[in-house]
Amino acid sequence: MKKTKDGIAPSDALVLFGVSGDLAHKKIFPALYAMTKQGVLKTPVVGVASSKWSLAQLREHAEDGIRKAGPIDDRPALDRLLSLLRYVAGDYKDPATFNALKKALDEARRPAHYLAIPPALFATVIQGLGAAGLVDQARVIVEKPFGRDLASARELNRIARSVFPEDSVFRIDHYLGKEAIMNILYFRFANSFLEPIWNRNYVARVQITLSEDFGVNRRGAFYESAGCLRDVIQNHLFQIVALLAMEPPAYQGFGAVHCEKAKVFQAMRPLQADDVVRGQYAGYRKEPGVAKDSDVETFCALRLFIDSWRWEGVPWYLRSGKYLAETAAEVLVELKPPPQMLFDDSAPISGRANYLRFRLSPNSAVALAARVKRAGKEFVGDQAELYLLDEQPGEEAPYARLLRNAMAGDGSLFTREDAIEAAWAVVDPVLKTHHRSHPYKPGSWGPKQADALIAPNGSWHNPILAKTTK
């Protein structure tokens, strides 16, 4: 049995539940193609779905998804991937489906089971794998959302742990596989100059914006069951907060990182209704699958506090939404102004004080803003940004990185049971008890009530892509 350098045996097959779905078509098959080109995918890929497809239809579906994601620049690699595919058709509630899967796996003994299926089916498939004896030395990869509130997350964790050990459960959040997100962790702890100022004494506030300039794209029925708070903030944005706010890990290893991230979620103050502004873009109720009187939020902004020694009293402002002015993701860590204003033009009223800005998408960059004097006798200056990092060529796609890691048994980019439950505990109070959503115009930055939320501590930083200077 071949093992990794850490002594962990890699998976010898990938089982893809929901192989006929959108996620597999748009994301997973292009990722598998990239892995095949890299020479890291050589194991069978067994697709499972209810569609009565032939193997030829599955191969056509896979090639179509890969072709739509980008040019096919390595035909031999594509042919190798297609040759690895197997297919099992059946109902996830039928034990015969899992018996057919066991037969399709043949001699594979350490499969990785990827649940690219609706969350309502997670428990059914996990229990089906257990009953069929398909879990010994196996792993399970679970797509978000992992639960829809604290109670359901706890129940799903209980079911998963009743079948798989915790270190064999890989809760996937594709955001954690992005290069720019990984760089937050690296940038913080690979540089010593940040640590003295990375605390309540020097940081005034932190803003995180994840905006999209499009609507729900005919996924109204899904959004009615989720909403922006569940869909984006409780997972993607909270993970960014954890990387920014965590303490230095005590040792090298993803276990130490997971521990420190979990502590951040546990220190977050549970949200109350007045901490949250919900919005809904005009026209959302006309989307297919959306209730005519829907109050579901397509925009959410919130004020968050982390009751820890490092961050006590520092407000964190998070927002995300559909149909906003830009598609972008940025973090702005605003520093407090100097204690004495020696120069009139450097007063906070003239603009933001120094800050550190992480551009996460559509391109990645890290920038530090500082004031620089203009030439001349007067003590007048301008605030300029120093770029420390920009987009790098050859970045690995998030799903390819996460699949490779999961099959290798590397849990560094996945979330742990205690962190999932602690994050849900923060948002649980406002999932049902909240103010009504406010309408906003598509192409804006959301409802004006979000501006009022942040007003006591300044204003929102709006990512303006066209005005980015290098």
Residue 158 domain-assigned? Answer: no
Last residue of a domain, one of 94, 124, 143: 143
Sheet holding 438-440, edge to edge: 381-389, 365-373, 355-361, 328-335, 203-211, 315-321, 299-305, 276-281, 438-440
Dihedral sign of CA atoms 27, 33, 37, 43 in order: positive
Which DSSP state fits 417?
H
Check whether residue 94 and residue 181 sit in a common domain: no
- Which CATH number goes with the domain that contains 26? 3.40.50.720
Range of the domain at 131: 13-143
- Which CATH number goes with the domain that contains 289? 3.30.360.10
Check whether residue 201 and residue 139 sit in a common domain: no
> HSE on the CB side for 457, CA within 13 Å?
21
Residue 211 domain-assigned? Answer: yes
Check whether residue 224 and residue 139 sit in a common domain: no
- Range 35-52 average pLDDT: 95
Domain count along the chain: 2
Query: Is residue 373 classed as helix, strand or coil in its secondary structure?
Result: strand
Known catalytic residues? 236
CA 334 to chain centre: 23
Check whether residue 44 and residue 133 sit in a common domain: yes
What pLDDT, on a 0 to 100 scale, did the predictor assign at position 348? 59
CA 84 to chain centre: 29
Least-confidence region, from 34-48, 173-187, 191-205, 388-402: 388-402
Question: Tell me: the pLDDT tens digits for 142-169?
Answer: 988 888 999 999 999 999 999 999 999 9
Identify whether the C-beta of residue 271 lies closer than 8 Å to the C-beta of residue 306: no
Q: Is the pLDDT of residue 467 over 50?
A: no
Residue 41 domain-assigned? Answer: yes
Q: How far is 117 from 124, CA to CA, in rounded Å?
A: 11
Q: How far is 162 from 129, CA to CA, in rounded Å?
A: 12
Alpha carbon of 397 to those of 31, 79, 393: distances in Å?
7, 21, 12
Q: Is the pLDDT of residue 89 over 50?
A: yes
φ/ψ (deg, to 5) at 41: -115, 110
Q: Is the pLDDT of residue 25 over 90?
A: yes
Residue 36, token pair as written in the block: 């095949």
Check whether residue 397 and residue 252 sit in a common domain: yes
Angle between helices 150-163 and 122-131 (to 10 degrees): 10
Residue 332 domain-assigned? Answer: yes
What pLDDT, on a 0 to 100 scale, did the predictor assign at position 143? 85
Check whether residue 255 and residue 342 sit in a common domain: yes
Identify whether the C-beta of residue 377 lies closer than 8 Å to the C-beta of residue 408: no
Check whether residue 206 and residue 133 sit in a common domain: no
Check whether residue 235 and residue 86 sit in a common domain: no
Question: Tell me: the pLDDT tens digits for 241-297?
Answer: 999 999 999 888 888 999 999 999 999 999 999 999 999 999 999 999 999 999 999
Check whether residue 112 and residue 223 sit in a common domain: no
